[in-house]
């Protein structure tokens, strides 16, 4: 995924740069009964008030153009695909109640649930599934990440580029059976099908209403959009045709531009859930110990990317020296506050395949100095001038300063810092015009392929550092295409990760944690996988404040 998408996780650690002033906060706290926050008192059903931090409004409610976590939070309430992600990160049935995979791993056949309907009562057929996937990959949405997610489907690239008018790899075999054919086996394909971008959308409703269809969007998920009050909130009502346990409450998704403001709204009783997108890191120590406060590992890793096209970063001894010179726990505590943990591994905790015993270079000043001397720079003498590129923002500058200072103290080398505006920073990484730079990578789907193959395979466009290892490539290639043997897949990925860590292909720094507040009067919600999970909407209750 692009660096801009990958870095979204940073918002769990620090304030958003979108500022909500004191006057705006007072306005939110004083909203009248007819306002989004006041709807809890006026609706016939109890209302669960859920913060969507970091935006004043959603960019979209169209799954095919989902481009950020704020939209994805809302989309998951309204839309589902053939399958969905369970709280334990496994793939479970959604619109499809069963499926089969061919022996060569390339053909998936899905059977839709009997009497499956959209939220307006319209029957869902295989034609809607074909339309949804074809639409997501059509040229109209070529600027999105849909090809990145669905590119393994046969004909996806041709459809996205406009060279084909249909998506050849998706076919309706009957009104309730869909077949999807891939160009090659992909062990992560089912996990990708659980993403909001792959949700089933109502073909006839879209053709009839055009772009206006999202104002009162319906899907096959547990809620429908009653009203989208732009700049305020989404009011969602239970989907009366939902195939699963149906909600017994309404849901108000409240847009709060600044996480600190959302925190204050929760403290004042105006929200029931906050922190799904961002939690103000400077409030963690204030709220620590409150039973309403929950931590959960985010499937993300922040690491230092070393551009091996620049000497002496092509020398594994230099990379290892830089890695062994970092004392990460105090660094992470000082830079990220209370919502991150230091790490020496690439895969984050909670991700399938994560091995807490598989570690890269740990803090060892003596070894770091010895390795640098072996590389020809004893005491740092003769070490060339390097630049640490930093994204805009105080936190990013703190990270750069802390890392550079430790390298100077342990190795005797001086590394400069060059901070850039966010878009310029991303372009610098994309164009490989950097030497050392931090990257925060968030799982797009919960599979090691999304970290190891995407970030370090020789042929990946996200391998900005240029590291290459034939054995690593061979292992992840095998794991990527292995279907049906999860244990063997994860074993291959672990072996590949060990190779990358041994070579200091990157320097892992931290794994973020999400901080989430859930009011004690709310029951039926779980904190897992970096967010809030709902195993059974019919069991979610909102008690008296």
User: Reduced to 3 states, what is the DSSP secondary structure of residue 101?
Assistant: strand
CA distance 183 to 257: 42
Residue at token pair 């950020």: 68
123 Ramachandran zone, left/alpha/beta (phi>0; psi -120 to 50): beta
* pLDDT tens sequence across 2-54: 333 333 333 333 323 222 222 333 323 333 333 334 333 444 899 999 999 99
* pLDDT tens sequence across 303-317: 999 999 999 999 999
What are the Cα distances from residue 317, in Å, to 117, 358, 370, 400?
A: 60, 20, 9, 22
Phi, psi of 214 (to 5 degrees): -80, -15
CA distance 49 to 39: 9
What are the Cα distances from residue 493, in Å, to 207, 286, 351, 474?
A: 44, 39, 12, 10
pLDDT of residue 544: 60
Beta strands in 223-339 (DSSP E): 223-229, 233-238, 250-256, 273-274, 293-297, 300-306
Cα dihedral: 265, 271, 277, 278 (round 10):
30
Q: What is the mean pLDDT of each run of 10 residues along the chain (545 residues)?
A: 37 30 30 36 79 94 90 95 90 96 96 96 97 96 91 96 96 98 96 94 95 95 96 96 96 96 96 94 88 92 95 96 96 89 94 89 96 96 94 90 96 94 89 93 93 94 93 97 93 97 96 94 90 93 75
pLDDT of residue 42: 41
Contact (Cβ atoms closer than 8 angstroms) between residue 5 and residue 273: no
* pLDDT tens sequence across 70-109: 999 999 999 999 999 888 888 999 999 999 999 999 999 9
* pLDDT tens sequence across 316-354: 999 999 999 999 999 999 998 888 999 999 999 989 999
Residue at token pair 């073909």: 203
Closest by Cα among 466, 514, 475 to 348: 514
Residue at token pair 């989902």: 66
**87-8-537 Cα angle (round to 5):** 25
pLDDT of residue 36: 38
DSSP H or E run through 166:
none
183, two tokens: 């160009």
CA distance 369 to 350: 34
pLDDT of residue 6: 39
385, two tokens: 């001038």
CA distance 87 to 76: 13
101, two tokens: 């995979």
Give just the sign of the alpha carbon dihedral 343, 485, 496, 154: negative
User: At what angle are helices 470-481 and 486-502 packed, to 10 degrees?
Assistant: 160
17, two tokens: 């740069």
DSSP H or E run through 203:
helix 203-209
């Amino acid at each position: 995924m692009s660096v801009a998408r990958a870095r979204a996780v940073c918002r769990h650690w620090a304030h958003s740069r979108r500022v909500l002033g004191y006057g705006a906060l007072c306005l939110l706290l004083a909203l009248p009964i007819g306002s989004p926050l006041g709807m809890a008192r006026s609706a016939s059903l109890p209302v669960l008030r859920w913060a969507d931090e970091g935006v004043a409004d959603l960019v979209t409610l169209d799954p095919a153009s989902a481009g950020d976590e704020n939209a994805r939070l809302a989309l998951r309430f309204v839309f589902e695909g053939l399958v969905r992600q369970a709280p334990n990160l496994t793939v479970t049935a959604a619109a499809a109640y069963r499926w089969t995979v061919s022996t060569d791993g390339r053909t998936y056949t899905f059977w839709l649930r009997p009497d499956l309907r959209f939220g307006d009562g319209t029957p869902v057929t295989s034609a809607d599934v074909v339309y949804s996937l074809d639409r997501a990959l059509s040229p109209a949405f070529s600027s999105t990440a849909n090809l990145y997610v669905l590119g393994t489907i046969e004909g996806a690239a041709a459809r996205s580029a406009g060279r084909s008018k249909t998506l050849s790899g998706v076919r309706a075999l009957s009104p309730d059976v869909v077949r999807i054919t891939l160009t090659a086996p992909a062990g992560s394909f089912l996990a990708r099908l659980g993403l909001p971008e792959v949700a089933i959308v109502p073909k006839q409703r879209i053709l009839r209403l055009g772009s206006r269809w999202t104002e009162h969007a319906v899907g096959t998920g547990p809620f429908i959009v009653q009203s989208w009050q732009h700049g305020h909130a989404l009011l969602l009502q239970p989907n009366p045709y939902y195939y699963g346990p149906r909600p017994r409450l309404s849901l108000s998704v409240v847009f709060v531009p600044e996480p600190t403001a959302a925190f204050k709204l929760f403290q004042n009783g105006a929200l029931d859930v906050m922190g799904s997108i961002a939690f103000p890191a400077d409030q963690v120590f204030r709220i620590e110990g409150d039973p309403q406060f929950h931590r959960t590992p985010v499937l993300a890793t922040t690491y230092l990317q070393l551009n091996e096209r620049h000497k002496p970063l092509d020398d594994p001894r230099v990379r290892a020296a830089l890695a062994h010179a970092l004392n990460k726990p105090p660094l992470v505590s000082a830079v990220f506050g209370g919502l991150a943990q230091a790490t020496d591994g690439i895969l984050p905790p909670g991700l399938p395949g994560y091995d807490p015993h598989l570690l890269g270079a740990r803090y060892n000043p003596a070894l770091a100095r010895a390795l640098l001397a072996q590389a020809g720079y004893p005491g740092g003498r003769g070490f060339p001038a390097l630049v640490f590129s930093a994204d805009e923002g105080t936190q990013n500058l703190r990270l750069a300063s802390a890392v550079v200072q430790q390298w100077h103290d342990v190795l005797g080398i001086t590394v400069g810092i060059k901070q850039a505006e966010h878009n310029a920073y991303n372009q610098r990484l994309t164009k490989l015009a950097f030497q050392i730079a931090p990257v925060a990578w968030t799982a797009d789907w919960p599979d090691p392929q999304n970290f190891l193959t995407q970030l370090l395979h020789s042929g990946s466009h996200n391998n900005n550092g240029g590291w290459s290892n034939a054995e690593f490539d061979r292992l992840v290639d095998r794991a990527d295409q292995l279907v049906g043997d999860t244990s063997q897949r994860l074993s291959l990925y672990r072996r590949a990760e060990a190779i990358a860590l041994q070579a200091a292909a990157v320097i892992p720094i931290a794994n973020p944690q999400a901080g989430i507040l859930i009011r004690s009067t709310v029951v039926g919600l779980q904190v897992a996988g970096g967010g809030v999970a709902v195993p059974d909407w019919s069991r979610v209750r909102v008690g008296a404040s």
